[in-house]
Amino acid sequence: MKSRLALRAVALGYLGFLILLPVGGVFWITFRDGFMPFWESITTPEALNAFYLTVFAAVVAVVANTVFGVAAAIMLVRRRFPGKQLLSALIDLPLAVSPVVVGLALILVYGTYGWFGGWLAEQGILIIFSFPGIILATVFVSLPFVVREVVPVLREVGTEQEQAASTLGASSWQTFWRVTLPSIRPGVTYGIVLTTAKALGEFGAVSVVSGRIIGRTETLTLHVEDRFQAFDLAGAYAASVVLAVLALGTLFAMNLLKPKEEKA
Amino acid sequence: MGITVSNISKRFGDFVALDDVSLDIQNGSLTALLGPSGSGKSTLLRVIAGLENPDSGEVVISGQNKTGTPPQQRGVGFVFQHYAAFKHMTVEDNVAFGLRIRKRSKDQTREKVHELLELVHLEGFAHRYPSQLSGGQRQRMALARALAIEPEVLLLDEPFGALDASVRKDLRAWLRRLHEDMPVTTVLVTHDQEEAMEVASEIVVMNDGAIEQIGDPTEVYENPATEFVMSFIGPITRLQGAYVRPHDLRIQLEPNGKTSEARVEELLHLGFEVRVHLRLSNDEDIWAQITRDTASQLDLKNGKTVYIVTDRSRSFG
């Protein structure tokens, strides 16, 4: 009995000092002087631009990586092809490589003096220090999550339900939409939550490729740092709260979407 | 009509699953493919369904060559050992799946689903999810789902293999009655000889990717064509090099010209049946199956000397 209480105290204490206290502190400091200072900080044109940019990049990353992730997971689990190990290793690469390196690599390829950057610039397409670069970096760093969450679920579900659907006359497309996708939904959902969290919180890669043009290519995380460097602590904390609320909102929405029957 | 399979071969790597198998299945019959695991029975069923492509050979269903046809267009109902229930759909939606794919009208679908749920005794379960059903109920749902598309043939892959013994017994009897009411050509894969004898009108005994014997239950039991069939279907024991069914052995207290002397080693009382383990004078072990009454008439006891004889033993060249 005593040891169980001690264990609980250690677990709660650990979480408390690592997560609850700092996050709670941010909320407390932000709203210490009421709601209005917070509202003023997050409605400056720079803050609003950062907010829209972050949300847009996250939406693109989630859509792109969900489509790619589900397709890649099906390839990895259901198909045999040469280079499968390589594909699997490549998918994990964004987890292994530091985001700063990702940013530098993108500059190497798409920068003005990069391999494709010069040609693209002649066509009037600017990637680095611009919006597409931020999207690229965000998609890159959040790529593995859907694949990694879906692969084990797909393996566990097996192929019998799909075979049953095919004997009942369903084409492979119909089988995918009506049988495969619903049965891997828990994995897809959790993958989306992780992708969103990573996309919202990304700092390193975006910091390198964005050029950090205030009011134009600043995401929320960059905006937080920018405010912090400018001794505008209130602004930094307010933007942090917005980030935290976005993440919590995603978790909450995904919980609501969870179907009720998936107990067995 | 029915199903004709000719010269089917199928390998998985080095393993020969089916070796030049040919088989005729009568229209409207209930046939069991019986054999141990690895005998090729499930592979043959999956080849008929189109879930597996044979390396060579032909599959003809109801007079149409369906060898290269994908499973979607074969008109077969397939029931899996582990149900393959669509877990995210209610019982009703599971059964309606094939009809919705075929774009039947809502009224038509509802009526058909209702009718099928009644047939498999799941009327009250339409809005449940598979996880809320027992194994037997899930399998009945899977059967209704397969029957919904009005298949020309119904293929059952070890359908009762994952169920409790008592549920299995009930479902076998129920399946036989169902087939009498609705004579769709049905092929059932099983490794359980009792199940095959109880349910099927025709038994195909398979071993090592080939067919050993085809016949009705009495025939495969009474006149086994090979050593394998004899040993796989029903109990056997050996008397002087020949195979004999333990219930075909007679025990008597006096010798005659044809008897062998033996000593009673052990008596097992299994209700109506008594199992007698004996040792012959040449040290061979043998066992006999006799009734309780016979055992008490003979007054069998451990260590007693008796004489055994049979007029139904078999040797295979």
Residues 6+ apart with CB under 8 A from B247: B235, B288, B289, B290
Given this model, what pLDDT does residue A259 score? 63
Q: What sign has the CA pseudo-torsion A36, A38, A41, A42?
A: negative
In a domain, A87, yes or no: yes
In a domain, A10, yes or no: no
Given this model, what pLDDT does residue A260 score? 55
Residues 6+ apart with CB under 8 A from B36: B191, B207, B232
Q: B49: distance to nearest CA of chain A, Å?
A: 7
**How much is the average pLDDT of A151-179?**
95
Q: B294: distance to nearest CA of chain A, Å?
A: 52
The mean pLDDT of chain B is: 93
In chain A, residues with a C-beta closer than 8 Å to the C-beta of B87 are 161, 183, 261-262, 264
Confidence grade of residue B66 (pLDDT, cut at 50, 70, 90) = very high
pLDDT tens per residue across span B25-59: 999 999 999 999 999 999 999 999 999 999 999 99
Q: Which domains does chain B have, with CATH numbers?
A: 3-231 (3.40.50.300), 236-314 (2.40.50.140)
- Bridge pairing between strands B76-79 and B153-157: parallel
Q: In the predicted model, is pLDDT for residue B3 greater than 50?
A: yes
**How much is the average pLDDT of A173-197?**
94
Q: A249: distance to nearest CA of chain B, Å?
A: 26
**How much is the average pLDDT of A55-72?**
96
Q: B149: distance to nearest CA of chain A, Å?
A: 7
Q: Least CA distance to A172: which residue of chain B?
A: B72
Does the interface ipTM go beyond 0.90?
no
Look at chain A and report how many structural domains it folds into. 1
In a domain, A225, yes or no: yes
The interface residues of chain A toward chain B in range 222-261, judged by CB-CB distance below 8 A, are 259, 261
Q: Least CA distance to B127: which residue of chain A?
A: A261
Given this model, what pLDDT does residue A263 score? 43
Indicate the residue type of A22.
P
Given this model, what pLDDT does residue B76 score? 94
- Which CATH number fits the domain that encloses residue A143? 1.10.3720.10
Cα–Cα distances (Å) from A34 to A29, A38, A210, A226, A236, in that order, read 10, 8, 33, 23, 16
Given this model, what pLDDT does residue B63 score? 92
pTM of this prediction? 0.84
Q: Which structural domain range is residue A165 located in?
A: 42-96+138-263
Rg (CA), chain B: 24
A80: exposed, middle or buried (Cβ count in 10 Å: 0-12, 13-18, 19+): exposed
In a domain, A24, yes or no: no
Given this model, what pLDDT does residue A1 score? 67
* Structure-model confidence comparison of residues A77 and B313, the more confident one: A77
The interface residues of chain A toward chain B in range 100-159, judged by CB-CB distance below 8 A, are none
Q: In the predicted model, is pLDDT for residue A248 greater than 90?
A: no
In a domain, A155, yes or no: yes
Interface residue A164 vs chain B (CB under 8 A): yes
8 A C-beta contact, residue B145 and residue B95? yes
CB contact under 8 Å between A167 and B77, yes or no, is yes
In chain A, residues with a C-beta closer than 8 Å to the C-beta of B142 are 164
In a domain, A110, yes or no: no
B173: exposed, middle or buried (Cβ count in 10 Å: 0-12, 13-18, 19+): exposed
Q: Which helix (H) or strand (E) holds B238?
A: strand B237-239
Residue in A156, A159, A160, A167 to test binding to B, most B beta-carbons within 10 Å: A167
Given this model, what pLDDT does residue B311 score? 83
CB contact under 8 Å between B51 and A169, yes or no, is no
8 A C-beta contact, residue B154 and residue B75? no
pLDDT tens per residue across span A108-156: 888 888 888 888 888 888 888 888 999 999 999 999 999 999 999 999 9
In a domain, A200, yes or no: yes
